[in-house]
Structure 1
Amino acid sequence: MTKMAEAPKAARNPFCTELIGAQAPELQFSPYRVFTREQWARLRADTPMTLEADELEELSGLLDELSVEEVETIYLPLSRLLNLYVAAAQKLHSVTSTFLGRTDCRVPFIIGVAGSVAVGKSTTARVLKALLARWPDHPKVDLVTTDGFLLPNRELDARGLMDRKGFPESFDTARLINFLADVKSGKGELEAPVYSHFHYDIMAGQRTLIQRPDILIVEGLNVLQPATFERGSVSEPFVSDFIDFSIFIDADPELIQTWYVERFMRLRSTAFRDPAAFFHRYVTLTHDNAVARALDIWRNINLKNLVENILPTRPRARLILRKGEDHRVSTVALRKV
Structure 2
Amino acid sequence: MKSTEAYSHFNRQEWSALAKPKQAALSKQEIELMQGIDQIISPDEVTDIYLPLSHMLYIQMTHSMNLHHEMNLFLNRTTKKVPFVIGIAGSVSVGKSTTARLIQALISQWPTKPKVDLVTTDGFLLPNATLNARNLMKKKGFPESYDIERLIHFLTDLKSGSAYMEVPMYSHLTYDRLQNEVQKVEEPDVVIVEGINVLQVNKKKSNIPEVFVSDFFDYSIYVDADEMNIKQWYIERFKLLQNTAFQDPSSYFHRYRDLSPTEAVAFATDIWNTVNKVNLEKNIKPTKYRANMILKKGPGHRVSDIQIKKT
With structure 2 as the length reference, what TM-score do the two structures score?
0.96
- Post-superposition offset of 1:196: 0.6
Structure 1 segment 23-172 matched on structure 2, within 5 A: 30-172=5-147
How far, CA to CA, are the matches of 2:4 and 2:118 in structure 1?
35
Alpha carbons 1:47, 1:76 under 8 Å: kept = no
Alpha carbons 2:38, 2:240 under 8 Å: kept = no
Pair 47,167 (structure 1): closer, same or farther in 2 beyond 3 Å: farther
Alpha carbons 1:199, 1:276 under 8 Å: kept = yes
How far, CA to CA, are the matches of 2:308 and 2:289 in structure 1?
11
How far, CA to CA, are the matches of 2:36 and 2:190 in structure 1?
22
Pair 330,242 (structure 1): closer, same or farther in 2 beyond 3 Å: same
1:277 alignment counterpart: 251
Aligned-partner residue type, residue 23 of structure 2: P
Pair 234,210 (structure 1): closer, same or farther in 2 beyond 3 Å: closer
Rg larger in structure: 1
How far, CA to CA, are the matches of 1:31 and 1:267 in structure 2?
40
SS at structure 2 position matched to 1:299: helix
Question: Identity over the aligned pairs, expressed in percent?
Answer: 49
- Post-superposition offset of 1:75: 0.1
Alpha carbons 1:199, 1:278 under 8 Å: kept = yes
Q: Which of the two has greater helix per residue?
A: 2
Structure 1 segment 1-337 matched on structure 2, within 5 A: 30-229=5-204, 236-337=210-311
How far, CA to CA, are the matches of 1:114 and 1:239 in structure 2?
11
Q: Looking at both structures, which has the greater relative contact order when contacts are Cα pairs under 8 Å and sequence separation is at least 6?
A: 2
Pair 304,132 (structure 1): closer, same or farther in 2 beyond 3 Å: same
- Post-superposition offset of 1:138: 4.7
Query: Where do 5+ consecutive residues of structure 1 fail to align?
Result: 1-25
Ranges of 4+ aligned residues in structure 1 off by more than 3 Å: 26-29, 227-230
- Post-superposition offset of 1:229: 4.1
1:10 alignment counterpart: none
- Post-superposition offset of 1:77: 0.1
Query: Where do 5+ consecutive residues of structure 2 fail to align?
Result: none
Aligned-partner residue type, residue 309 of structure 1: N
Aligned-partner residue type, residue 323 of structure 1: K
With structure 1 as the length reference, what TM-score do the two structures score?
0.89
Which deviates the most, 146-155 or 218-227?
218-227
How far, CA to CA, are the matches of 1:172 and 1:234 in structure 2?
10
Aligned-partner residue type, residue 39 of structure 1: E
